[in-house]
């Protein structure tokens, strides 16, 4: 498909619980969705064995013909792997 471009702002950061909330404010993603935001929650696994990442989309479609954003899942998998690698690199 064609590239999707989105400019996001960070709406909230909860460092204690490893949660970040984003909101799309510009880009062609808003040609399909009236609003689009996401929440990322990183949960470290026990015994310093990596992390679990939960990525939640909240969106409102412009109309019923707009597809759900399931095509973005591979991108999120890649991002989650990058986050995991970063967190592991920060360990003593």
What confidence tens digit (pLDDT) does each residue in 19-57 have? 999 999 999 989 999 999 999 999 988 887 777 888 899
User: Does 69 or 48 have the greater pLDDT score?
Assistant: 69
Q: How far apart are CA 58 and CA 55, in angstroms?
A: 10
CA distances from 2 to 5, 21, 28, 83 (A): 10, 26, 10, 25
pLDDT at 26: 96
The tens digit of pLDDT for each residue in 70-83 reads 877 778 888 878 87
User: Would you give the end-to-end CA distance of the chain in angstroms?
Assistant: 42
Closest CA to 78 of 60, 53, 56: 53
pLDDT at 13: 98
Phi, psi of 84 (to 5 degrees): -60, -45
Domains of the chain: 7-89 (3.30.530.20)
């Amino acid at each position: 498909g064609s590239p999707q471009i989105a400019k996001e702002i960070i709406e909230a950061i909860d460092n204690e619980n490893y949660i970040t909330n984003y909101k799309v404010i510009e880009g062609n993603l808003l040609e399909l969705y009236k609003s689009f935001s996401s929440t990322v929650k990183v949960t470290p696994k026990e015994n310093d064995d990596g992390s679990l990442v939960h990525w939640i989309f909240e969106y409102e479609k412009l109309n019923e013909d707009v597809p759900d954003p399931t095509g973005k899942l591979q991108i999120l998998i890649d991002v989650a792997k990058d986050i995991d690698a970063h967190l592991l690199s920060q360990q003593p």
